[in-house]
Structure 1
Amino acid sequence: MKKEEPIMDGPKRMQNELMMMMGYKNFDQLQLLQAAKDNIYKWDALILPNSPPYDKGAFSLEIDFPKEYPFRPPTLHINTKIYHPNINEKGQICLPILEPEHWKPTSRIDTVLQVLVATINDPQPENAYIVEISNQFVNDPQKFFKMADAWVTRYSDYRPTEQQLARIAKRRKKALMKK
């Protein structure tokens, strides 16, 4: 029988999860993940979806961990305007995994972020934050994709190339080694 791992307190666990995720090679839709300087409770990253119409842009993500993490879920916020049924105009995200009644202290942030990226790539109208956009996604997908594409063109962040991401990662690695 496998012995269960104890649940670590927030800061140590967050440091471990961050270091683990920074080592992921195959999670290319989430880039530039880092904790804020001198604040392990605040992370940010860049989401690079791979499904149209979002695959043409990049979206800034902010992750705020409560002091009670892992016993309370983090709050995710998209800082880039996006036309999406699961994300409201303030960047708040409707993800059932983050609702207090569904959250488990054993849930890991990498799983949450994988669910987030999957939801951005494939909107979930049954968990809509904005009913009108959800209805449009279901009933008039052509109009939805046209509007979402226009918003990506107008509001999305710059999408760095693979080479630019590699250079940034190299600079970060050098900076970490100096510490």
Structure 2
Amino acid sequence: MAKEEPIMDGPKRMQNELKLMMGYKELKQVQLLEAEKDNIFKWFALLMPNTPPYDKGAFKLEVDFPKEYPFRPPRLHINTKIYHPNVNERGQVCLPILETEHWIPTSRMDTIFNVLLATINDPQPENPYSLDIASQFQNDPKKFYSTAEAWVARYSDRRPTDQELAKIARRKKKAAMR
């Protein structure tokens, strides 16, 4: 009979997931992922969605983990203003996978990021934070896309090029070796 593995505690699990995510090449829409200095419970990343109108900008993401992680879900905040039916004015994202009643402790951050990106790239008006924006998305898509595009132009960060991202990665790797 195989020996059962002990349940990972939050910090060890988060260290393993962060290490996994930093080497994960398939999630090109999540860049510059890192933990806050001396605080594994707070991660930062840059979201680079791939569908209009959000594909013209980059959005700062903050992930806050509760001390009880993985038994309680992390909280995601998009710290860049975004006109989206599933994101409220404080940057909180409406994702059922992160609701306490739906949370599964075996969920990994790569899955959460994939769900987040799927929601940003393809708004879900049936599960909105903003009823007005969701209604506009469904009833006047032309106006929705026009407004969302204007917000991207006004509030989003500039998308770094692949060369800039590679340079930042090399700089971080060099700094980590010191």
Contact 1:31 1:46 in 2 (8 A): yes
1:44 alignment partner in structure 2: 44
2:121 alignment partner in structure 1: 121
Q: Deviations over 1:92-151 (max 9, x none)?
A: 110000000000111111111110011100001111000010011111111100000000
- 3-state SS of paired residue (2:126): helix
In the TM superposition, what is the alpha-carbon distance from 1:23 to its structure 2 partner?
0.4
The TM-score normalised by the length of structure 1 is 0.96
Deviates more, 1:2-11 or 1:16-25: 2-11
Gaps of 5+ in 1: none
1:166 alignment partner in structure 2: 166
> What amino acid is aligned across from residue 104 of structure 2 in structure 1?
K
- 3-state SS of paired residue (1:44): strand
2:8 equivalent to 1:8:
yes
Q: Deviations over 1:43-100 (max 9, x none)?
A: 0000000000000000000000000000000000000000000001110110000000
Alpha-carbon distance change, 40 to 54 in structure 1, aligned in 2, over 3 angstroms = same
1:68 alignment partner in structure 2: 68
1:99 alignment partner in structure 2: 99
Alpha-carbon distance change, 3 to 25 in structure 1, aligned in 2, over 3 angstroms = farther
1:90 alignment partner in structure 2: 90
Gaps of 5+ in 2: none
Residues 11-30 of structure 1: pairs in structure 2 closer than 5 A: 11-30=11-30
1:133 alignment partner in structure 2: 133
- 3-state SS of paired residue (1:42): strand
Instruction: Calculate percent identity across the aligned residue pairs.
Output: 73
In the TM superposition, what is the alpha-carbon distance from 1:7 to its structure 2 partner?
2.9
In the TM superposition, what is the alpha-carbon distance from 1:26 to its structure 2 partner?
1.7
How many residues get paired?
178
Which 4+ residue blocks in structure 1 deviate beyond 2 angstroms?
1-7
2:177 alignment partner in structure 1: 177
Distance 1:142 1:50 in 2: 19
> What amino acid is aligned across from residue 94 of structure 1 in structure 2?
C
Distance 1:149 1:2 in 2: 55
> What amino acid is aligned across from residue 20 of structure 1 in structure 2?
L
RMSD over aligned CA atoms reads 1.4
